[in-house]
Amino acid sequence: MRSFIRITVLAAATVLIARPAAAQLKVVTSTEDLASLAREVGGDKITVEAIGKGYQDPHFVEAKPSFILKLAKADVLIAVGRELEIGWLPPLITQSRNSKIQPGSAGYLDASLNVRILEIPTGQITRAMGDVHPLGNPHYWLDPDNGRIVAKEIRDKLGELRPNDRAYFAQRYADFDKRLADADKRWKAAMASYRGMKIVTYHRSWPNFAEHFGLDVIGYVEPKPGIPPSTQHTIELIDEVKRQQVKIILVEPYFDLKTPQSIGRATGAEVLVMPPSVGGVPEASDYFKLFDYDINLLTSTLKKVTGK
C-alpha cells in the first residue's frame, strides 16, 4: 500500500514537472489590421485569426458558420468598435456561446476606446439615415499614432490575461513602437512635398490617414458613408473636382469602379485603387507593409500628376 502511494505521488510530481508552459492564447480579431497589431505584441505567446479579410468592406462581412467556431474557441476577441462591425459581429459573438469574449468580459477588447476618433457627429444622427458612421469615423487605424495606441491596449489586455508574460508583451510592444516611429518618419518624409494636396475618396475611410499625412479630402463618391453613389451627387462632385482641380480619386478595393471612372473621365483625375486594410492587396501583408504600399502608390501618382 505504501509503495502504491509513493508511486502515485511520484507520478503526480512527474506530471507537474512535465507540464508544458501555458498554451498560447487564442486571439480572434474582426479585421486583419488588428490581427497584425496583435501579432506584433503577442509574438509566439498567442495565435491570431482575423474574421474579416482586408479585401472585404469591413462594414459588411458575410457571416459564416466557421466564424462561430473560431469565436467559440477564442480566449480574446479584439474588435474595431464604433459600430464598424455592428452589422455582422454581434450575432456571431452571441452564437459562439463563449462567455470569455462577450462584450464586457475580460476577453473582449474594443480597440477604439482610447484612439483619436474623427467626425464624431453633433446632434441627432441615427443609422436610419443610412450613415454607417454614427459614432464617429471607425477607420481610425489608418493613423499610425492610433495603431500605436491599439498595440498598447493589446499589450495591456494580454498582460492582464497572462500576468506571467507581461514582460514579454512589454518588450514586444517597445520594439514595435520604435520600428513604427522610424517607419513613420520615412512615410512622412515621402509625403512632405504633397502637403495640402486635395483628393476625393469613395468612402470616408481616410480622414485619419489624411490628417496624419497632410492630405485634404474635399469630397466623397458616396453621398453618405454606406450609401451608393447617386446621379445628382456625382454631378455635383464632378463640378467640385473641376473647381478645386483635384487630381486623385481614391477607391477602396471592394467598391465598383464605374462611378469613380466616369468622374475621372469627366475631370481628368486619376482613379487609384488603394487598400485601407492589411490584406487589401497581397503586398500589404502587415501593418507596416500597408503604409509602405499606400504611401508608395500615392507618392508615385502624386509625382506624376504634379511634376513635384
CB of 22 to Zn ion, least distance (A): 37
CB of 115 to Zn ion, least distance (A): 15
CB of 240 to Zn ion, least distance (A): 21
Distant-in-sequence, close-in-space partners of 123: CB < 8 Å, separation ≥ 6: none
By C-beta, is 68 or 135 nearer to Zn ion?
A: 135
CB of 203 to Zn ion, least distance (A): 5
Mind giving me the DSSP string for 156-205? HHHHHH-GGGHHHHHHHHHHHHHHHHHHHHHHHHHHGGGTT-EEEESSS-
Cα-Cα-Cα-Cα dihedral sign, residues 192, 153, 40, 86: negative
Pattern 186-225, binding to Zn ion, x per CB under 5 A? ---------------------------------------x
Query: Cα–Cα distance between 27 and 157 in angstroms, integer?
Result: 11
Task: Give me the count of residues in the chain.
Answer: 308
Beta bridge partners of 250: 201, 272
Q: Tell me the residue nearest to Zn ion as measured from the CB.
A: 225
By C-beta, is 42 or 225 nearer to Zn ion?
A: 225
Query: Cα–Cα distance between 8 and 13 in angstroms, integer?
Result: 9
By C-beta, is 131 or 270 nearer to Zn ion?
A: 131
> Which residues in the 221-240 window bind Zn ion by CB under 5 A?
225
By C-beta, is 136 or 159 nearer to Zn ion?
A: 136
CB of 233 to Zn ion, least distance (A): 17
Residues of this chain that bind Zn ion (CB under 5 A)? 225
